[in-house]
Amino acid sequence: MQTQLESEPRAVVGSRPDLEPAPRSVVEARNLTRRFGQGETSVDAVRGISLDVPAGLLTAIMGPSGSGKSTLMHILAGLDRPTSGTVEIDGTEITTLDDTPLTKLRRKHVGFIFQFFNLLPMLSARENIVLPLEISGERINDAWLDELVESAGLAQRLSHRPAEMSGGQQQRVAIARSLITRPTVLFADEPTGNLDSRTGGEILELLRDSVDSYGQTIVMVTHDARAATVADRVLFLADGLIVKELSDTTPEEVHRAISETGR
């Protein structure tokens, strides 16, 4: 399965010549590879990927299990280090950063949404939402908090603990938590993976809203074909490489792309 990327490694996927002016890139990755293990049992999860994440858009990364999409996102987000290649977030090269500057960068520029929500069970919804501010020692902007709570529909749930909320509600809290710091880029790891399809759809809508209303940049790894309906563009991965890119696509196109690129 040859791709243009392999023959033209310097080509940048994601430039959108049809749109003018081209949006600024907030994440720039070059020649990423990631090898797990050593010797004969080693696995190359990412085999040479370069990409730009344009600001203010929702980029979805799709692909079958084992295609390397999660690994790619972990590297882009600074959770994992590539075997080779570079990643810049907001102009800062992160793959060589020490833990402390990386932590500082995370506070300012990066937000996370997880498949299993990852809320702190002993804190109420409100406390979970403002936790990143508390950790970085910043003041809470009440207007911003109110707006996030309002748009996530959590006004009645603020004093509830995670255990007292449905999965969808928990994920809304997680989204509000990730947006409270207005991060440069928000990484979502299978955000609908642990939700029923209706609730999952609502969560996708909420993410789309944050792009439309606040210009939030989002990178989302997902299995969910409906993600296509909310994504500005979709990157398809297979065997550690980007094999296809679609813009403003439909679920049907996505399904077709999956069956083409998949097994």
Partner 1 sequence: MIRIALRGLLSRKLRTSLTAFAVVLGIAMVAGAYVLTDTINKSFNTLMASAREGTSAVISAESLVKNGSTSDRPTVPASLLERVGSLPGVERAYGVVETESARLIDAKGNPVGPAGPPALGFGRDASTIGQKDAFKIVEGRWASGPSEVAIDIASAKKAHVSAGDTIRVEGSGPLERVRVVGLLQWGSSDSLGGATMAVFDLATGQRLFGLAERLTEIDVDAKAGVSPAQVLKEIKPLLPAHARALTVDEQIKEDQSEWASFATIIRYALLTFAGIALFVGAFVIFNTLSITVAQRTREMATLRTIGASRRQILGGVIVEGLTIGLMASVAGIGAGIGLAKLLSALMGVIGIDVPRTATVYAPRTFVISIATGIVVTLLASLGPALRATRVPPIAAVREGSTLPRSRFARLRPLVSGLAVAASLAVIGTGLFGSFAQASQRLLALAAGCALFFIAVALLSSYFVRPLARLVGLPGSILGGASGKLARENAMRAPARTASTAAALMIGLALVTFVSVLARGLTRSTEVAIKKQVSTDYVIRAKDNYSSFSNATATTLARVPGVEKAVALRADTVIAYGKQAQISGVDPAAIRSVYHFDWKQGSSASLSELGRDGAIVMDSFARKHKLAPGDRFTVTMPDGRKLLLHVVATNKQPDFFPLLGKITVSQAGFDAAYRTNPKTTATVFLRTADGQSERVERSLTSALAAFPSVGLKTEQQAIDAQSSDLNTLLAMFYVLLGLAVVISFFGIVNTLALAVFERTRELGMLRAVGMTRRQVRRMIRYESVTISLIGAALGIPVGIFLAAMATTALSRYEVVFSLPIVSLTVFALVAVVLGMLAAILPARRASRLNVLEALQYE
Q: Cβ closer to partner 1: 79 or 158?
A: 79
79 binds partner 1 (CB under 8 A): yes
| CA R_g for the chain | 18
User: Would you say 210 or 261 has its CB closer to partner 1?
Assistant: 210
The window from 17-25, 61-69, 99-107, 245-253 that contacts partner 1 (CB under 8 A) reads: 99-107
Contacting partner 1 (CB under 8 A), which of 2, 99, 142, 155?
99
CA distance 31 to 172: 34
Q: Does 136 bind partner 1 (CB under 8 A)?
A: yes
Interface with partner 1 in residues 184-203 (CB under 8 A): 189
Parallel, antiparallel, or unpaired for β 233-238 and 58-62? Answer: parallel
Q: Whole-number minimum distance, CB 256 to partner 1, in Å? A: 29
* 123 makes contact with partner 1 (CB under 8 A): yes
- Kindly give the residue spans of alpha helices, DSSP state H, lying in the chain: 4-7, 69-76, 99-109, 125-136, 142-152, 167-179, 197-214, 227-230, 251-261
Asked if 132 interacts with partner 1 (CB under 8 A), we say yes
Supply φ then ψ for residue 14, to 5 degrees: 110, -15
Cβ pair 69, 189 in contact under 8 A = no
Q: How far is residue 35's CA from residue 26's CA, in Å, rounded to a whole number?
A: 25
Does residue 172 bind partner 1 (CB under 8 A)?
Answer: no
**Min separation Cβ 179 and partner 1, Å:** 12
Nearest to 173 by CA among 220, 119, 106, 215: 119
- The distance in angstroms from the start CA to the end CA of the chain is 11
The single residue among 106, 157, 172, 244 that binds partner 1, judged by CB under 8 A, is 106
Would you call 164 helix, strand, or coil by DSSP? helix
| Contact window for partner 1 (CB under 8 A) among 58-66, 71-79, 197-205, 242-250 | 71-79
Q: Which of 122, 146, 213, 255 binds partner 1 (CB under 8 A)?
A: 122
The answer to whether 182 contacts partner 1 (rule: CB under 8 A) is: no
- Dist. CA 163–CA 128, nearest whole Å: 13
Instruction: Write out the residues near partner 1 by the rule CB under 8 A.
Output: 70, 74, 78-80, 99-100, 103, 106-107, 110-112, 114-116, 118, 120-123, 127, 131-132, 134-136, 177-178, 181, 189
